[in-house]
Structure 1
Amino acid sequence: MARASSESRLSGIGMLTSRFKFDAIGTSWEIDTPTPLRGDIREHILDIVERFDSVYSRFRKDSIVMRISEAKGVGSFTFPSEAVTMFDLYDRLHAATEGAVDPLVGRDLELLGYDREYSLAPRPREEGLLRPSWHRDVIRDGSQLTTLRPLMIDLGAVGKGYLVDVVADVLEKAGLVDFIVDGSGDMRHRGSSALDVGLEHPLDPEMVIGLANLNNRSLCASAPNRRRWGDTLHHVLDGRTGQPTSDVIATWAVAADTATADGLATALFFGSASRLMAAFDFSYVRMFADGRVEASGNFEGELFT
Structure 2
Amino acid sequence: MLPPQKLTSKQTFGLLVSICLSNKKMNQSSHPPIQADTRGVRRVEFRALGTPCAIQFRLEDENKSLQFLNDALGWLSRFEAKFSRFRSDSLVSQINREAGKNWVRVDTEMSEMLDTAERLYRLTEAILDPTMLPMLQVWDWKKLHTQLPSDAEISHAKSLVGWDKVERKTGKVMLPIAGMGLDFGGFGKEFAVDQLVQIARQFGIKDALIDLGRDVYGLGGNGLHPFWHVGLEDGINPGNCWGGVAVSDFALCTSGDYARRFEHQGKRYGHIIDPRTGWPVANGMRAASVCAPSCLQAGIYSTAIFVMGRKDGLAFASCAPGLDASAQDDCGIERTSGFVKRQVQAA
Is 2:303 aligned against 1:260? no
User: Which has the larger Rg?
Assistant: 2
Q: Aligned-pair distance for 1:83?
A: 4.4
* Conservation of the 8 A alpha-carbon contact between 2:40 and 2:58: yes
Classify the secondary structure of the residue corresponding to 2:185: coil
Q: Aligned-pair distance for 1:144?
A: 4.4
Percent identical among aligned pairs is 24
Gaps of 5+ in 1: 1-12
What is the correspondence of 1:130-169 to structure 2 with a 5 Å cutoff?
131-140=159-168, 144-150=172-178, 151-169=180-198
Q: What's the C-alpha RMSD, in Å, of the aligned pairs?
A: 2.7
> Which range is displaced more, 229-238 or 125-134?
125-134
Q: Aligned-pair distance for 1:41?
A: 2.5
Q: Aligned-pair distance for 1:267?
A: 1.0
What is the correspondence of 1:197-236 to structure 2 with a 5 Å cutoff?
197-231=230-264, 232-236=268-272
Structure 1 counterpart of 2:262, one-letter code? W
Q: Aligned-pair distance for 1:199?
A: 1.1
Out of 60, 75, 83, the residue aligned to residue 48 of structure 1 is 75
Distance in structure 2 (CA, Å) of the matches to 1:268 and 1:142: 34
What is the correspondence of 1:68-217 to structure 2 with a 5 Å cutoff?
68-83=95-110, 86-114=113-141, 118-121=142-145, 125-126=152-153, 129=156, 131-140=159-168, 144-150=172-178, 151-191=180-220, 193-217=226-250
Greater per-residue strand proportion: 1
Is 2:29 aligned against 1:15? no
* Conservation of the 8 A alpha-carbon contact between 2:154 and 2:278: no
Distance in structure 2 (CA, Å) of the matches to 1:140 and 1:14: 53
Distance in structure 2 (CA, Å) of the matches to 1:280 and 1:87: 25
Q: Scaled by the length of structure 2, what TM-score is found?
A: 0.74
* Matched pairs, number: 288
Q: Aligned-pair distance for 1:84?
A: 5.2
What is the aligned partner in structure 2 of residue 31 from structure 1? 55
What is the aligned partner in structure 2 of residue 6 from structure 1? none
* Conservation of the 8 A alpha-carbon contact between 1:210 and 1:301: no
Q: Aligned-pair distance for 1:22?
A: 1.3
**Deviation per residue, 1:255-290 (Å, 9 max, x gap):** 1111111111111112223234325641111111x2
* Conservation of the 8 A alpha-carbon contact between 2:231 and 2:241: yes
Classify the secondary structure of the residue corresponding to 1:268: helix
* Conservation of the 8 A alpha-carbon contact between 1:112 and 1:120: no
Classify 1:64/1:28 alpha carbon distance in 2 versus 1 (closer, same or farther; 3 Å): same
Distance in structure 2 (CA, Å) of the matches to 1:56 and 1:50: 10
Classify the secondary structure of the residue corresponding to 1:241: coil
Distance in structure 2 (CA, Å) of the matches to 1:275 and 1:223: 18
Q: Scaled by the length of structure 1, what TM-score is found?
A: 0.83
What is the correspondence of 1:283-294 to structure 2 with a 5 Å cutoff?
283-288=324-329, 290-294=330-334
